[in-house]
Amino acid sequence: MYKNILVNALVNLGDVILTTSALDLIKKNFPETKITMLVKPVVKDALTDNPVVDDVIVFDYAEKENSFSAMRKMISEIRHRNFDLSISFDRKLRPALLTFMAGIKKRVGPSKVFDDNKSRVTLLYTDVVEISHDLNKTLQAETYQEIVRKFFNIEGHGEPHFPKKISPVAEKLFENFSADKLKIALCVKGTFPLKTYPKEYFAEIVKKLREKYSAEFFIVGAPSDREYADEVIAEIGGDVKNFCGETSLTDLAEIFRRSDLFITVDTGATHIAAATKIKMVVMYGCTSPDRWHPINKNSIVLTSRENCCPCSVKAEECPSYPKSNCLYNVKPSKVIEAAEKLLAGDLNEQKSI
């Protein structure tokens, strides 16, 4: 049995969190196995002290640069650690080359993972796991787990994991909140425009919820989201705190644990929140909730299920631009209805509308 595994996941935050469900499956079946993850610097916080990750190697490189010195240094480090197996969750050329040149004897990767396109990268694997299901109709976490199930010949399902740490930042940010009011978090900006729910819709949602509940609202996100969040706050009419750029990933997780509800677009924070089991409403635009919905029974996902979705076009190429149907047909009334249902505790299992 393999005792020292390197997992390649040079992908974005949401995907990295979802891959931990596959690591959970490995740990359940082989608890003595040491798992090290090779990741980008921006996601390190999500894996340090993660219960299913034993060690982390951070690979800091520029995506479009061919840095021979960085590659050589990383090959040396990987070789020094004597891994007996590498598993690819990204099917990228760079980590495939690293593990090949470092001499890891068993190198496993999927036939497909993000799209149906064939890739010569698989030539660098010793074992290619055939993924036969429809990616867009299958939860992405299940795709990662299928790689593990087929290679190890095991069964079952895993859950994503996120580290739980004491957060002085979360403590400080919540100092001025009233103890007797609901705490409602918002994430208002996606990684690209066709994920970003309309500002005026967010404004209507907050105004309507304020009419019914005694609640305080705040926006979370990356530093680059701060200016846009201010625009949403102006649309709402103020009195919403802007925490964008003020938290680490583990701070953000602690904020969710202290909150009563999270209303969000489809983004990495969605999967951090899901791991905390917070009550949450998620609005999907051009992406498929069948593939990317949060693994959290306390969530409701909303989508208009347009015939053209999922898609990967630029916003200005969308036939219904600038008011894309996939976003504008998910009406605020649906979000408000879902929020009220969650706050009333009227949800036994995860549902899509």
> Tens digit of pLDDT for each residue in 327-347?
999 999 999 999 999 999 876
The domains of the chain, with CATH numbers, are: 4-152 (3.40.50.2000), 168-352 (3.40.50.2000)
Q: Work out the average pLDDT over 49-70.
A: 84
Residue 234 has which token pair? 């102006």
**Token pair 């693994």: residue:** 295
Please write the tens of the pLDDT for every residue from 79-126.
999 999 999 999 999 999 999 999 999 999 999 999 999 999 999 999
Residue 185 has which token pair? 């978090």
Q: Work out the average pLDDT over 35-48.
A: 96
pLDDT band at 348 (very low <50, low <70, confident <90, very high): low
Q: What percent of the chain has pLDDT over 70?
A: 97
Q: Work out the average pLDDT over 260-283.
A: 97
Q: Which of 51, 2, 12, 25 has the alpha carbon at shortest distance from 146?
A: 25
Check whether 351 has a pLDDT greater than 60: no
- Give the pLDDT of residue 4: 98
Q: What is the mean pLDDT of the chain?
A: 94
- Give the pLDDT of residue 280: 98
Q: Residue 162: left if φ>0, alpha if ψ -120 to 50, beta else—which one?
A: beta
- Give the pLDDT of residue 349: 46
- Give the pLDDT of residue 312: 87
- Give the pLDDT of residue 66: 58
CA distance 276 to 268: 13
- Cβ(59)–Cβ(39) below 8 Å: yes
Check whether 353 has a pLDDT greater than 90: no
- Give the pLDDT of residue 12: 92
Q: Work out the average pLDDT over 139-166.
A: 97
- Give the pLDDT of residue 109: 97
Check whether 194 has a pLDDT greater than 50: yes
- List 55's β-bridge partners, or say none: 36
Q: Which of 252, 245, 262, 327 has the alpha carbon at shortest distance from 300?
A: 262
Q: Work out the average pLDDT over 29-38.
A: 97
Check whether 197 has a pLDDT greater than 60: yes
Q: Work out the average pLDDT over 280-302.
A: 96
Residue 288 has which token pair? 């498929």
CA distance 47 to 275: 13
Q: Work out the average pLDDT over 132-156.
A: 97
Instruction: Please enumerate in sequence order all residues whose Cβ is within 8 A of that of 290, keeping only pairs 6 or more positions apart, or say none.
Output: 136, 137, 138, 139
- List 190's β-bridge partners, or say none: none
Q: Work out the average pLDDT over 134-146.
A: 97
Check whether 294 has a pLDDT greater than 50: yes
For 3, which DSSP code? Answer: -
Q: Which of 163, 135, 136, 216 has the alpha carbon at shortest distance from 52?
A: 163
- Give the pLDDT of residue 284: 97
- Give the pLDDT of residue 350: 47
CA distance 175 to 183: 12
Check whether 64 has a pLDDT greater than 80: no
